[in-house]
Amino acid sequence: MTGWPEGIRCTLMRGGTSKGAYFLAEDLPADPADRDDLLLRVMGSPDPRQIDGLGGAHPLTSKVALVSVSADPRADVDYLFLQVGVEEPVVSDRQNCGNLLAGVGPFAVERALVTAGEPQTSVRVRMLNTGDLAVATFPTPGGRIAVTGEAGISGVPGTAAPVLIEFPRGGGPLLPTGNPRDVVAGTEVTCVDNGMPTVLIPATALDVTGHEAPKDLEEAQALAGRLREIRLAAGRLMGLGDVEHTTVPKLSLLAPPRDGGAVATRTFIPVRCHTSIGVLGAASVAAGLRVRGGVGEGIAQLPPTGGRLRIEHPTGFLDVETDVAYGADGRPSASRTAVVRTARKIFDGTVFPRPADRSFRPFRS
């Protein structure tokens, strides 16, 4: 083979506290296996440094967003999130990513899938991973996407234009097991899904404080074994089946807040400790804290009325507006969830994947 491989138009964006490659779905192969093989070569996987691709050697920077015009009358665009493995040839569509979601609306406007409004634009997004809906609203003065603004989020230097993301009430149960508490692998937990299947665990139940640095938690071998045991058992209990090769459910350790928030968290994806917290993971934590009888009782410090909860994480905090209501059947549901994120276009151009290696095929999960 001579010359460069065929290039693909790509936009690299930071969305919230993640970074990923955004593509129009029509620019990639329709066959999932061929698409995943291509994305592994684009991101430089499998390789711990992802030295030969766009990936940043961490799950938070090895992500892909596929965007297309939606056929659903409730949405303007469809968004498929793909988590690309770093050290393994794995591409997973088993979860959403609320951080990359922050960039979907601006990307859709830039690629002319949606016409910008004045002074702001709202883009209705259908998240294909779960079928859930979201509305992203961001400033577009003069019909152009605002590049600067005063919104700051922990884990990202500086400020930028805000992207308000609102999630309507989901169709699935907030408590997938039907219980505010379950005993999983000998540990009391709360299994919750407010956009992201998440297992809430009191940090002290795993013999840690929940305030440790992510690196220290990752190096604790005994903790890793306990977390794996809980995740595999909780996955089955939550109706997710065998989660050995998936990144859901997330595991969030809960500890008393230290900086004026509602709770301190340490979240695993699935074995790497998140340096902050995902948007949908935080939404699930916030809703789970409002469930009567959940494991957050006695740990979290909640305001007397509903509304905004500040979720502390290793590099700061994430504010989530959430309310939980109980129906006539006594089951809780999240009646409203909203967060503010920011996004920034880093480059828009052509990415050249490394040549195909037929010695392996990607493992899909």
Could you report the per-residue pLDDT of 239-260, keeping only the tens digit for each?
Answer: 999 999 888 999 999 999 999 9
Within-domain flag for 3: no
- The two structure tokens encoding residue 223: 């903790």
Counted domains in the chain: 2
Q: For the chain, what is the mean pLDDT?
A: 93
- 189 in the same domain as 150: no
- 77: CATH: 3.10.310.10
- 194 in the same domain as 310: yes
Mean pLDDT to the nearest integer, 303-315: 86
- 149 in the same domain as 41: yes
d(CA 187, CA 109): 46
C-alpha separations of 92 from 130, 138, 365 in Å: 13, 29, 5
With a cut of 90, say whether residue 208 has pLDDT above it: yes
- pLDDT of the residue at 1: 41
Say which residue, 277 or 4, is predicted with more confidence.
277
Within-domain flag for 317: yes
Within-domain flag for 176: no
With a cut of 60, say whether residue 62 has pLDDT above it: yes
- 233 in the same domain as 200: yes
Mean pLDDT to the nearest integer, 323-331: 92
With a cut of 70, say whether residue 198 has pLDDT above it: yes
- 348 in the same domain as 312: no
Tell me how crowded residue 344 is: count the other CB atoms within 10 A of its CB: 18
- pLDDT of the residue at 105: 98
- 137 in the same domain as 46: yes
Range of the domain at 268: 182-340
With a cut of 80, say whether residue 306 has pLDDT above it: no
C-alpha separations of 53 from 14, 253, 272, 321, 351 in Å: 17, 33, 21, 37, 9
> E strands of the chain, at which residues?
8-15, 18-24, 63-69, 77-84, 90-92, 120-127, 132-139, 163-167, 182-184, 187-193, 197-202, 250-255, 263-268, 307-313, 316-326, 332-341, 343-351, 363-364
C-alpha separations of 221 from 25, 216, 218, 224 in Å: 40, 10, 8, 5
With a cut of 80, say whether residue 5 has pLDDT above it: no
Within-domain flag for 171: no
Within-domain flag for 356: yes
Which residues are 340's β-sheet partners?
A: 164
